[in-house]
Amino acid sequence: MPKAGIIYNDVKPIAGRVAIELKDKLTAAGWDVCVTSSIGGILGYSNPDSPVCHTPIDGLTPPGFDSDMEFAVVLGGDGTVLAASRQVAPCGIPLLTVNTGHMGFLTETFLNQLPQALEQTMAGEYEIEERAMLTVKVFRGEAVLWEALCLNEMVLHREPLTSMCHFEIAIGRHAAVDIAADGVIVSTPTGSTAYSLSAGGPVITPGVPVLQLVPICPHSLASRALVFPDTESVNIYPVNIPRLVMVVDGNGGCYVLPEDRVYMERSQYSVRFIRLQPPEFFRILREKLGWGLPHIAKPTSVELP
């Protein structure tokens, strides 16, 4: 019996309703179906009384989800896709992402197209697009305090974000550099269209094997976004701030003290997205972000000189 999964955003009533309908349809077609909420991929938010909410990377996989699963349907927006990615990436399960949210930059299809998309997926008529992920860890000495998989970005800043921070950042074996800024972002190519884009970083197409470091509001004309090979690891040391907060994929993180070290490297795991048509990244940029559209309207009703 073939096996499939469903991951849905239980905060959205429509996603819950569609999950039930989808399970019934797959079960009737002879599939073994496992259903879970994307809340299992939420990392948990730290607070001063509980500065570290640590769930090991492999501990987020839902019961019943394993490498024997042929695919999983994700019902939600981009946040749900990010959470689902952390849940299933260690198992290598392909994800059919269905937008029930707003922008849906990471999603493949919409609810009104789900019946056709499901039939195509069940028949195996799709391509797999792999997206690189980061492994993010916080060390105190040699002990790992916290770890997580990251599809978009890691952000390290002061809480509240009101004053300058100093960081010593070492990329690979290169000499460490000192950056003064409100915070720093380390992102994957997938995350280049998220927070790092708003902070002035470049858009990077998903297949390029690089990472990028983006200072947030740097206090130097020389501190700009840096793109480097994803074979290089990154170590970040807070210098002069009593406590920083780290956020991964806009989700929970942990507090980072001056004696801690934030370590990042390309993960051994990657997200496997189901693409029902050949991936066309520039089309998504045009549709979602308006990239390449004319910046001056030329109405035909007005005679131009």
pLDDT tier at 241, thresholds 50, 70, 90: confident
State mean pLDDT over 84-93.
96
Q: Is the peptide bond before 160 cis (omega within 30 degrees of 0)?
A: yes
What would the two tokens of residue 189 be? 């190519």
In the annotated binding site for NAD(+), the residues are 78-79, 152-153, 182, 193-198, 251
Please give the average per-residue pLDDT across 37-63, as a whole number: 81
pLDDT at 45 over 90: no
- Domain regions of the chain by residue span: 3-131+270-289, 133-268
Query: Does residue 235 contact residue 170 with C-beta atoms inside 8 Å?
Result: yes
Does residue 243 register a pLDDT over 50? yes
pLDDT band at residue 302 under the 50/70/90 scheme: very low
Model-level pTM? 0.91
Question: Are 251 and 42 in contact, with CB atoms under 8 Å apart?
Answer: yes
Rounded Cα distance, 60 and 127, in Å? 26
* Amino acid code (one letter) for 201: G
Please give the Cα distance from 55 to 41 (Å, whole number).
10
CB contact set of 25 (below 8 Å; sequence gap of 6+): 118
pLDDT at 297: 58
What pLDDT is attached to residue 295?
A: 63
Quote the pLDDT of residue 95: 98
Could you read off the pLDDT of 70-83 as tens digits, one per residue?
999 999 999 999 99
Q: What is the CATH number assigned to the segment(s) 133-268?
A: 2.60.200.30
Catalytic residues: 78
Q: Quote the pLDDT of residue 161.
A: 64
Q: What is the mean pLDDT of the chain?
A: 91
Coil, helix or strand at residue 116: helix
Are residues 252 and 43 in contact, defined by beta-carbon separation less than 8 angstroms? yes
List, for residues 204-230, the tens digit of each pLDDT value.
999 999 999 999 999 988 889 999 999
Quick one: pLDDT at residue 294? 72
Could you tell me which residues are beta bridge partners of residue 160?
none
68 SS3 class: coil
pLDDT at 162: 66
304 pLDDT tier (thresholds 50, 70, 90):
very low
What is the structure's pLDDT at 126? Answer: 96
The residue to which tokens 């042929």 are assigned:
70
**303 pLDDT above the threshold of 60:** no
For the segment 173-200, what is each residue's pLDDT rounded down to a tens digit? 999 999 999 999 999 999 999 999 999 9
Least trusted range by pLDDT, from 58-62, 214-218, 238-242? 238-242
pLDDT tens digit sequence for 122-181: 999 999 999 999 999 999 999 988 999 999 999 999 877 667 899 999 999 999 999 999
**In whole angstroms, what is the distance from residue 49 CA to residue 17 CA?**
37
Task: Give yes or no for a contact between 223 and 179, defined as CB atoms under 8 angstroms apart.
Answer: yes
**Annotated binding-site members:** 78-79, 152-153, 182, 193-198, 251
CATH number of 3-131+270-289, picked from 3.20.20.10, 3.20.20.150, 3.40.50.10330, 1.10.30.50:
3.40.50.10330
pLDDT for res 288: 87
